[in-house]
């Protein structure tokens, strides 16, 4: 692939950049001061785009690169790629499923524990010296809770299996019922929320699922309910979430993703019933390397005319 021109849209882990630098002619879009001019100069040479969950390949970028053959995103989510435009132009698309499932599912369980047991506040109770003045207050048990999952795909299923180890009862809502599973299916997200102690967002972001967690769903989850989001920030109507947490209409939230990252509503900073993480679901050394390897393997497969490892389009 030494002669192939590849455009990386956003800084990712050093390993991926180094491997691409070794194997192809790599261009880094975020380092370019005048992007439109750069794209004009290189429009007929760039044949691959590597993106991620922050910057992928929108219609404007795709139209600017008439020789583009493949978009490989270092993420499982596809919401930053114009899939319709890729299909229209015959551009292949790959993502990085499976290799990140365990890390994201692990974090989902940790967020449940962190919110219910107030683990972050317990840590601060020790660090601040307050423990010397008295024990931390009692918190909420996790074992046996009713866990509702929005989206029973790879990650949703992995979360369900982990929650079962805590004797939790599992139910779910998705586009279609999955009869091969033993979990209870709710044909309505509102009904799922009303019958859950914890609601986990684990579905793909599409126009249909944007702001799917709205006021009605939040109110159904209720003042003792907890919302966990390890998917995409735009699944949640953030203003409604903030309002519900501040007003006490929602019991708590564990959030790894936000609607306008890295901007986070400042009202959340003062709430003890909220755990906030900087989108670190896949952020372990081993998983990020495995994701990078899958990106590279897909690119190599494409340019060697071999079957793609994780094709989407």
Which DSSP helix (H) or strand (E) runs through 6? strand 5-8
Residue pair 231/205 in contact (Cβ under 8 Å)? The answer is: yes
Ramachandran bin of 274, using left for φ above 0, alpha for ψ from -120 to 50, beta for the remaining angles: beta
Cβ atoms within 10 A of the Cβ of 257, count?
22
Q: Which of 125, 146, 215, 279 is catalytic?
A: 279
Three-class secondary structure of residue 149 per DSSP: strand
CA distances 202 to 4, 43, 96, 176, Å, are 36, 37, 16, 15
Note if 261 is an active site residue: yes
User: Quick one: DSSP state of residue 237?
Assistant: -
Note if 87 is an active site residue: no
Note if 146 is an active site residue: no
How many Å apart are CA 74 and CA 245, to the nearest integer? 33
Q: Which of 92, 232, 288, 302 is catalytic?
A: 232
**Positions marked active-site:** 232, 261, 279
């Amino acid at each position: 692939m030494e002669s192939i021109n590849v455009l990386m849209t956003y800084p990712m882990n050093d390993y991926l950049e180094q491997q691409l630098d070794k194997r192809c002619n790599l261009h880094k879009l975020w380092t370019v001061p005048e992007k439109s001019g750069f794209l004009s100069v290189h429009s007929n040479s760039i044949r691959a785009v590597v993106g991620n969950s922050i910057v992928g390949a929108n219609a404007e970028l795709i139209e600017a690169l008439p020789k583009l053959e493949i978009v490989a995103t270092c993420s499982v989510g596809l919401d930053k790629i114009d899939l319709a435009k890729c299909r229209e132009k015959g551009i292949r698309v790959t993502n990085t499923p499976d290799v990140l499932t365990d890390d994201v599912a692990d974090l989902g369980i940790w967020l449940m524990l962190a919110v219910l047991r107030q683990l972050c506040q317990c840590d601060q109770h020790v660090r601040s010296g307050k423990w010397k003045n008295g024990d931390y207050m009692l918190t909420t048990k996790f074992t046996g809770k009713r866990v509702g999952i929005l989206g029973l795909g790879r990650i949703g299923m992995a979360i369900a299996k982990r929650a079962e180890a805590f004797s939790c009862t599992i139910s779910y809502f998705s586009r279609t019922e999955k009869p091969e599973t033993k979990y209870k299916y709710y044909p309505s997200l509102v009904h799922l929320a009303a019958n859950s102690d914890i609601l986990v967002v684990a579905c793909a972001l599409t126009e249909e699922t944007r702001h799917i967690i709205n006021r009605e769903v939040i109110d159904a989850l209720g003042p003792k309910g907890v919302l966990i989001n390890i998917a995409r920030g735009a699944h949640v109507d953030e203003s409604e979430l903030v309002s519900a947490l501040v007003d006490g209409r929602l019991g708590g939230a564990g959030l790894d993703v936000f609607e306008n990252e890295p901007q986070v509503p400042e009202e959340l900073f003062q709430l003890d019933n909220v755990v906030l993480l900087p989108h670190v679901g896949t952020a372990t050394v081993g998983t990020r390397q495995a994701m990078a390897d899958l990106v590279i393997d897909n690119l190599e497969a494409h340019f060697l005319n071999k079957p793609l490892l994780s094709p989407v389009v």
